[in-house]
Structure 1
Amino acid sequence: MCTQWIIYNHILCDTKIISKSQRKKEQETIVLIVGAGPAGIATSACLILLSIPNIVLEREDCYACLWQKKAYDRLKLHLAKNFCQLPHMAFLLSVPTFVPKNMTAQKWVVTAKNRVLGLVEEYVGEFLVVATSENSEAVIPNIYGLDNFKGLVIHPSEYENGNKFGDEKVLVVGAGNSSMEIAYDLCNWGAQTSIVIRSPKHVLTKELGQLGMMMGSRLFNEKGMPKHKSPYHWKGEHGLYCVGFASAGLFGISNDAKNIANDIFH
């Protein structure tokens, strides 16, 4: 007969079915905690903040089973909330003095499919950070006549180097960072490279561009860096954040990440 245990390690959790043939397998840690009720969860949280590895074992399919599944609907804590809060997780001021069982906190819920296990997983958090990138999807514009073109058409995400383009005529469309870098690489491989640009561009060296970013981060116009939104473009409402949408490359991503982490921390 199989015994089902739910293994909780702070926030992330996985379900493991321990069968007869698997009982000899060992999983080693520093501290084993049996029971994912308030006592087990509180102990685990304190250990984690001290960087002490631990695993919480629970036979039910959820944590705090007595509170979630085996308590009547109108149940409230009989002591004031300041006497019932767990370590490092104080109740918010908006929570009633005597906490009811069915009080639902406003939290973000994200449902995702685990492609490795083929399972649908649900993640719940007080804050949500959207870091899906502003250029993660390859886009090739619908250009008239492109369907009849007999040559190769690729997106920069598919380009590796110009080795196979030596002595070939290659047209690079656009003058963004990737376009200029690829055009330069093609030339180094001997390709006959041309660039087509929709509107006039200012071409700067990397060093001059770096100097401009350091000295004039608030001087960008509406078509470039978000002048009027910086440095608050990363913060939304109700615990919603976005990172990497400042059109500032890794420099902007680094700043966004630091700002978000500090804001959540405080």
Structure 2
Amino acid sequence: MKCCLREIEGKQAHDPIFIENMKFSSSLSLPSSRCLYVPGAVIVGAGPSGLATAACLKEKGVPSVILERSNCIASLWQLKTYDRLRLHLPKQFCELPLMGFPGEFPTYPSKQQFVDYLESYARKFGIEPRFDETVSKAEYDGTMGFWLVRSVGKKGEATEYVCRWLVVATGENAEALTPEMEGMGEFSGDVRHTSSYKSGEEFRGKRVLVVGCGNSGMEVCLDLCNHNAKPSLVVRDTVHVLPREMLGISTFGLSMWLLKWLPLRLVDRFLLVVSRLMLGDTARFGLARPELGPLELKNLSGKTPVLDVGTLAKIKSGDIKVRPSIKSLKRHAVEFANGKTENFDAIILATGYKSIVPSWLKEKDMFSEKDGYPRRPFPNGWKGEHGLYAVGFTKRGLLGTSMDAMKIAQDIQRCWKEEKLNFG
């Protein structure tokens, strides 16, 4: 069977090839499933990471197939983000490889503009993901020397893909992270994750508790204010709040430029001094800063500083109340760690997302079973063994995604050419 697959691979076909009556040494195969050989890479996930990798591979002449569990590209952006969302960084830092944003787009594109950009990107490179295909299991068959990827369709039909290269592009935000809280089942109000939040319009006049003080939590609070809701913000930990722009340019862009000339800690000190001048002492309003500077903390833990877009002014004015950690939930109220109790109509969980790679990828060396991230830190977490790759796990946004996508495509192209010589 291995020789048969090698002969098929030598043809360099660019479309999946149906293979009948295959019997694998792996337990992955089921008699009722159909089998497709992919003469290139299988990419799991049709978000920005998967699209970028597919485009880079195509530019190098390597075919790929994208498997996507939802019914659209960038499903997180299209289906699970709030209406007012914009890119937090200037567009030049959020471009995917080989294609920039339209010149008429603003510095910080809206959610819909970013989705339009991704759809144009897919059209330009002829990327057509296989939608409604949820990968349930993927493992490497050492006897064959191929990856076996099993997907389940919308109607329960199973398909097995056989490929030399597997790219995990499901990213850091595959599934909403919902914390356990005492009394969660007792609370009578609306409790939802930000992935189900669209607009503050439906909360007009209501008392809403937002749990989580990252960029999403801060923006949801601002959106609630703008719709005349009464939001409070749970701040469980220290947080760096920086102005989105400094000295007339983006804080992120300024930081990247300064790092070319100055050591990281000196840049951190500069950012904190300017932030203090522009925003004041945030600790006075319940937003104490970590001991480590924003860039050093980002490098060590991946924790992103909050880029303020107006929320801090609402906190200063008292329109947004800052509250400590939650101790427990009651029927109509929340008891906080300081012993105080307050009534709320709804709770929004801005508690982030998690990777679910270990639930389907049967591999223990590259990905940690604890958090679903590559074990090796950036910039070395993109490549594993036997043709396994990861993109979108850098904790460095779309810039990190683009870097990894280009490296993956270059590496697969090298292997592609070697095998073409050996079997062509």
Partner of 2:243: 205
Which whole-Å CA distance do the structure 2 matches of 1:108 and 1:214 have between them? 42
Q: Give how far 1:120 is off.
A: 1.4
Q: What do you get for the CA RMSD once the two structures are aligned?
A: 3.2
Which whole-Å CA distance do the structure 2 matches of 1:108 and 1:213 have between them? 39
After TM superposition, the score normalised by the length of structure 1 is 0.57
Which whole-Å CA distance do the structure 2 matches of 1:208 and 1:109 have between them? 44
After TM superposition, the score normalised by the length of structure 2 is 0.37
> 1:12 corresponds to which letter in structure 2?
P
Structure 1, unaligned runs of 5 or more: 1-8, 16-40, 42-47, 52-102
**Which structure has more RCO (C-alpha within 8 Å, separation ≥ 6)?**
2
Q: How does 1:89-238 map to 2 (within 5 A)?
A: 105-115=144-154, 118-206=156-244, 207-213=250-256, 215-216=258-259, 219=296, 220-224=298-302, 229-238=377-386
Find the structure with the greater CA-based Rg: 1
> 2:199 corresponds to which letter in structure 1?
N
Matched, 1:10 2:14: yes
Which whole-Å CA distance do the structure 2 matches of 1:213 and 1:160 have between them? 32
Q: Give how far 1:201 is off.
A: 0.4
Partner of 1:29: none
Q: Give how far 1:251 is off.
A: 2.3
Decide whether aligned partners of structure 1 residues 142 and 135 sit closer, same or farther in structure 2, where only a CA change above 3 A counts: same
Q: How many residues align?
A: 174
SS in 2 for 1:236: coil
Q: Give how far 1:104 is off.
A: 5.4
Decide whether aligned partners of structure 1 residues 214 and 231 sit closer, same or farther in structure 2, where only a CA change above 3 A counts: farther
Decide whether aligned partners of structure 1 residues 119 and 147 sit closer, same or farther in structure 2, where only a CA change above 3 A counts: closer
> Which 10-residue stretch deviates more, 248-257 or 165-174?
248-257
> 2:166 corresponds to which letter in structure 1?
L
Q: Percent identity?
A: 43
Which whole-Å CA distance do the structure 2 matches of 1:209 and 1:175 have between them? 19
Q: Which has the higher helix share?
A: 2
Partner of 2:410: 262
Q: Give how far 1:200 is off.
A: 1.0
Which whole-Å CA distance do the structure 2 matches of 1:12 and 1:214 have between them? 45
Q: Give how far 1:177 is off.
A: 2.3
Deviation string, structure 1 residues 215-253 (Cα, Å, up to 9, x no partner): 559854421279x83221211222111111111222222
> 2:302 corresponds to which letter in structure 1?
G
Structure 2, unaligned runs of 5 or more: 1-12, 20-38, 40-57, 62-141, 245-249, 265-294, 304-373, 415-424
